């Protein structure tokens, strides 16, 4: 979890244990730590910011489904339903009072993995489930996770830590609060931009961030920012960076473009914009601005997709949580 000001939060969510929190060394005031765990048996939950010495920590594998959500309340953490469609569908109608849902798990849903008919992730189904929950006035925070358990030579350094979550805020001590609120977006790949969505009614002066509720009349001004400042980071070792260079060399001919999509509560695309990704880099970012007529008690949210006409593939690069319009405050 990071922000545009480089004040980051880390939470290790190992299976059935929170010991990693106590083993972390405090390095800087810029790094905020939250105690976390991946908890549960047939139903996995990611719990972030749990209390110390939580008595039910060893018992997660005894529960499943709604029972996992109910029993995890005493952890006092931010409670995420992990990969709800991995083995069988865990319907949003049964997510109860969970705080969030993992709508994108590992990068394996994107091409070329789709051609291999991999059934491990089912991300697009989970993303649709979350979208369906919004239609029924639910407000689960959409999250993403790498679920990375293994060390793979050449790939371990950078690409497999994605997807990651992004919170546009300078105060990392409020990470848990912002997650509860839904003030976050996620990106699925190292070359994707960090996304920030804001909105306001035309006659208002203050912009609302993701997860916030605003009331007003008339058209809604919507702005989506794409921050590329981290896309040039060479986090991998020599092996990974060599492979990355050759990949770019042999795929330069592919005709890719990016499509920004904006959605309402019904899941309808209410606006689009095409971008040429070659025009942006770690020093040059994008801002897309729209004036949209919105219905009463609606939402607005955004996704960024990469389209490859040559191979007829489409990959999700990132998505935001909604801003809620005409809600009671």
pLDDT in tens, 217-256: 899 999 999 999 988 765 555 655 665 565 556 555 556 7
Task: Write down how long the chain is.
Answer: 329
> In 3D, which of 326, 328, 296, 318 has the Cα closest to residue 200?
326
The predicted model scores a pTM of: 0.88
In angstroms, the CA 123 to CA 107 distance is 9
CA distance 294 to 220: 7
- Answer whether 202's CB lies under 8 Å from 220's CB: yes
Report pLDDT for 158.
Answer: 47
- Across the chain, mean pLDDT equals 86
Q: Are 152 and 163 in contact (CB under 8 A)?
A: no
37-55 average pLDDT score: 94
What pLDDT, on a 0 to 100 scale, did the predictor assign at position 162? 82
- Give 27's contacts (C-beta < 8 A, 6+ positions apart): none
- The pLDDT score that the predictor gives to residue 329 is 47
Please list the alpha-helical segments (H only) found in 48-153: 66-71, 123-135
Longest dimension (CA), the chain: 57
- Given a contact cutoff of 8 angstroms between Cβ atoms, the answer to whether 24 and 36 are in contact is no
Q: What is the pLDDT of residues 153-206, one digit of tens each?
A: 555 454 557 889 999 998 888 999 999 999 999 999 888 999 999 999 999 999
CA distance 131 to 140: 10
pLDDT score at 269: 96
State pLDDT tens for residues 7-22: 688 898 999 999 999 9
Position 115 pLDDT exceeds 80: no
Cite the beta strand spans of 113-219 per DSSP E.
141-145, 164-166, 185-187, 194-201, 208-209, 213-214
Which is it for strands 141-145 and 194-201: parallel, antiparallel or unpaired? Answer: unpaired
């Amino acid at each position: 979890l990071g922000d545009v000001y480089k004040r980051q939060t880390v939470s290790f969510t190992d299976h059935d244990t929170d010991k990693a929190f106590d083993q972390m060394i405090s390095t800087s005031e810029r790094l905020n730590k939250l105690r976390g765990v991946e908890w549960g048996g047939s139903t996995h939950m990611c719990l972030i910011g749990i209390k110390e010495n939580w008595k039910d920590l060893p018992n997660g594998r005894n529960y499943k489904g709604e029972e996992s959500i109910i029993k995890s309340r005493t952890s006092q953490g931010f409670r995420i339903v992990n990969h709800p469609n991995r083995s069988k569908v865990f319907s949003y109608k049964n997510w109860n009072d969970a705080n969030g849902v993992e709508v994108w798990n590992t990068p394996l849903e994107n091409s070329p993995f789709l051609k291999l008919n991999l059934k491990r992730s089912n991300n697009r189904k989970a993303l649709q489930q979350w979208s369906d929950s919004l239609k029924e006035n639910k407000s689960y925070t959409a999250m993403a996770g790498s679920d990375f358990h293994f060390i793979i030579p050449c790939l371990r350094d950078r690409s497999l830590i994605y997807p990651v979550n992004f919170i546009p805020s300078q105060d990392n001590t409020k990470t848990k609060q912002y997650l509860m609120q839904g003030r976050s977006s996620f990106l699925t790949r190292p070359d994707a931009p960090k996304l920030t969505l804001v909105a306001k009614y035309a006659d208002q002066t203050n912009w609302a961030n993701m997860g916030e509720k605003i009331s007003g009349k008339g058209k809604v001004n919507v702005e989506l920012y794409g921050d590329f400042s981290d896309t040039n980071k060479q986090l991998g070792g020599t092996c990974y960076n060599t492979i990355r260079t050759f990949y770019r060399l042999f795929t330069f001919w592919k005709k890719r473009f990016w499509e920004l999509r904006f959605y309402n509560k019904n899941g309808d695309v209410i606006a689009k914009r095409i971008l040429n990704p070659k025009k942006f880099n770690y020093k040059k970012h994008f801002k897309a601005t729209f004036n949209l007529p919105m219905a009463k008690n609606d939402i607005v949210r955004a996704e960024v997709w990469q389209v490859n006409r040559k191979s007829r593939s489409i990959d999700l690069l990132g998505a935001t949580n909604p801003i809620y319009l005409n809600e009671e405050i």
